[in-house]
């Protein structure tokens, strides 16, 4: 018979070794990131196509030829557009908002000077094209400037209007967004189901996954597939750390769910500031090269989008198999259904809750990597921007049900993308929330939640 103190000591040594190794990897990653590096601004070389995730700046500066640079900066991103032989230029951004466009006068041909202001400010909405006018003196064509496909006044042109091809494109984009939301939302739902806690810091696990992917892939030069595996392990480890250091001790002290909720909000804010300290406020591109696309009839997707959707489907299916077909998965569902009864049946509730924290953090980290690849950009606030959609998906599907979180995510994703066909991009999230309100008025427990008698 194995001596219990010796066994416990051996386990502690192994745990301590694992903790030291993983913490060392994190310190090395952050140290590497803090070293001086080249600018991550990327030059745009191909045509920009406005869609639900992209806005396009464009224009034409006649008479200057190729090589003139326009720097677009704002919302944590910096993109450099370069004119072609006809003076045309374009640049893609993945975040709506206000940007500063600056023509680099040092790149103008000899004898050519600025006639208009070299710096302009423009607002852009995803799914739209925005023109900008730069005029010069001494150009070969008289220096006249016009926007590419625009009126010359810098107004927005909408990429909206119903047609069947666009319906197909937006539907697939909605499926893609829904699958990526589901990766994160399932973990959020499992945490609520087993602990009753609405974890507002869950979105920061998504951000952490994307930022770590940037660190290992771009800064350290590690293959993206190996990077993804490393990120999943590290984010899962952060879930374990959270439960050991924060959540289990607070549960033992008997804190109410309201107090724990406030702790999650504070943790979320602390992590956001930490991300800004280490990574800055700019948007970081995981893939620096222009993405390759694949066309299926009227639908065009990047290779990264196909990979992200495929990985999401496989992982979600694996989670479903785990919850329904394995002993530990059934124990997880039992704890979610009735923790007291599960404990009386011999289930180690604390062990199951810790497993849920690890799995939820790992799924959120994987979602962050996939979102970074699909959107081709990650910033300190990426998770925060998706938090409301994640809560909407969980609430819509039914609180505490993993399958409900999946269905809710798909409904939210489709609603967000399809509404972009008839509404400006800034309103698409509001449409998803309006749908949530309508469904909850009709079915308060959500699509797959259970009715409960109160009182």
Element (H, E) at 121: strand 119-124
**What is the per-residue pLDDT across 204-261, written as a single tens digit (0 to 9) for each?**
999 999 999 999 998 898 999 999 999 999 999 999 999 999 999 999 998 899 999 9
Query: What element of type H or E holds 114?
Result: strand 113-114
Report the distance separating Cα 440 and Cα 54, nearest Å: 32
The beta-carbon contacts of 320-328 under 8 Å, at least 24 apart in sequence, are 320/402, 320/403, 323/402, 328/352, 328/355
Q: What percent of the chain has pLDDT over 90?
A: 34
Res 419 pLDDT > 90: no
Distances, alpha carbon 438 to alpha carbons 185, 237, 404, 433, 435, in Å: 20, 39, 17, 9, 5
Place 175 in a pLDDT band, splitting at 50, 70 and 90.
Answer: very high
The correct answer on CATH 3.40.50 for the domain covering 165-442 is no
Look at residue 205 and give its three-state secondary structure.
Answer: helix
CA–CA separation, 355 vs 328, rounded Å? 9
Give dist(CA 149, CA 91) in Å, integer.
Answer: 14
Considering the chain, what is the average pLDDT of its residues?
80
Please compute the mean of the pLDDT values over residues 141-160 and round it to a whole number.
Answer: 40
Give the pLDDT confidence score for residue 132 in this predicted structure: 81
**Residue spans per domain, the chain:** 44-158, 165-442
198 vs 153 pLDDT, higher one: 198
What number of residues does the chain have? 455
pLDDT of 130 strictly over 60 = yes
CATH homologous superfamily of 44-158 equals Outer membrane usher protein FimD, plug domain (2.60.40.2610)
pLDDT for 35 equals 44
Residues 100-109: what's their mean pLDDT? 82
**Nearest to residue 41, comparing CAs of 405, 213, 309, 284?**
284
pLDDT at 143 over 90: no
**Same CATH fold assignment for domains 44-158 and 165-442:** no
- Interval 358-384 mean pLDDT: 90
Please answer whether residues 414 and 174 qualify as being in contact, where contact means their C-beta atoms are separated by less than 8 angstroms. Answer: yes
Mean pLDDT of 397-402: 80
Q: Please give the distance of CA 129 from its chain centroid, rounded to a whole number.
A: 23
pLDDT band at 117 (very low <50, low <70, confident <90, very high): confident
Distance between CA atoms of 347 and 335, rounded to whole angstroms? 8
β-bridge pairing 136-137 and 113-114: antiparallel
Higher pLDDT, 417 or 309: 309
Comparing 281 with 341, which gets the higher pLDDT? 341
């Amino acid at each position: 018979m194995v001596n219990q103190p010796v066994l416990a000591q051996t386990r502690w040594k192994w745990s301590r070794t694992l903790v030291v190794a993983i913490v060392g990897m994190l310190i090395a990653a952050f140290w590497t990131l803090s070293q001086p590096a080249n600018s991550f601004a990327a030059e745009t070389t191909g045509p920009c196509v406005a869609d639900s995730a992209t806005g396009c700046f464009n224009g034409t500066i006649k008479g200057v030829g190729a090589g003139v640079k326009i720097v677009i900066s704002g919302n944590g991103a910096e993109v450099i557009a370069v004119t072609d032989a006809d003076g045309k230029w374009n640049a893609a951004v993945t975040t709506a908002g206000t940007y500063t466009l600056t023509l680099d006068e040092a790149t103008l041909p000899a004898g050519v000077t600025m006639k208009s202001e070299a710096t302009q400010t423009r607002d852009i909405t995803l799914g739209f094209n925005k023109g900008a006018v730069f005029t010069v003196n001494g150009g070969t064509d008289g220096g006249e400037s016009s926007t590419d496909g625009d009126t010359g006044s810098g107004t927005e042109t909408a990429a909206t209007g119903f047609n069947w091809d666009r319906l197909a494109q937006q539907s697939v984009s909605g499926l893609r967004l829904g699958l990526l939301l589901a990766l994160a939302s399932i973990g959020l739902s499992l945490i609520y189901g087993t602990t009753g806690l609405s974890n507002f810091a869950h979105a920061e696990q998504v951000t952490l996954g994307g930022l770590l992917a940037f660190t290992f892939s771009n800064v350290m030069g590690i293959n993206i597939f190996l990077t993804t595996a490393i990120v999943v392990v590290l984010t899962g480890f952060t879930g374990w750390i959270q439960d050991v250091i924060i959540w289990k001790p607070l549960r033992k002290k008997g804190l109410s769910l309201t107090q724990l909720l406030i702790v999650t909000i504070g943790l979320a804010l602390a992590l956001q500031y930490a991300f800004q300290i280490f990574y800055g406020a700019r948007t970081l591109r995981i893939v620096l090269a222009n993405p390759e696309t694949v066309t299926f009839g009227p639908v065009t997707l990047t290779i990264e989008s196909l990979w992200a959707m495929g990985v999401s489907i496989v992982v979600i299916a694996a989670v479903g198999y785990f919850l329904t077909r394995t002993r530990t998965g059934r124990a997880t569902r039992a704890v979610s259904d009735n923790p007291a009864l599960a404990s009386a049946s011999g289930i180690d509730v604390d062990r199951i809750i810790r497993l849920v924290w690890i799995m939820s953090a790992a799924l959120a980290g994987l979602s962050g990597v996939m979102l970074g690849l699909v959107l081709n950009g990650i910033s300190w606030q990426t998770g925060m921007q998706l938090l409301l959609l994640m809560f909407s998906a969980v609430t819509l599907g039914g609180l505490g049900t993993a399958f409900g979180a999946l269905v809710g995510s798909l409904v939210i994703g489709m609603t967000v993308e399809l509404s972009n066909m008839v509404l400006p991009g800034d309103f698409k999230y509001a449409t998803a929330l309006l749908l949530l309100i309508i469904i909850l008025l009709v079915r308060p427990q959500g699509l797959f939640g259970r009715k409960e008698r109160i009182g």
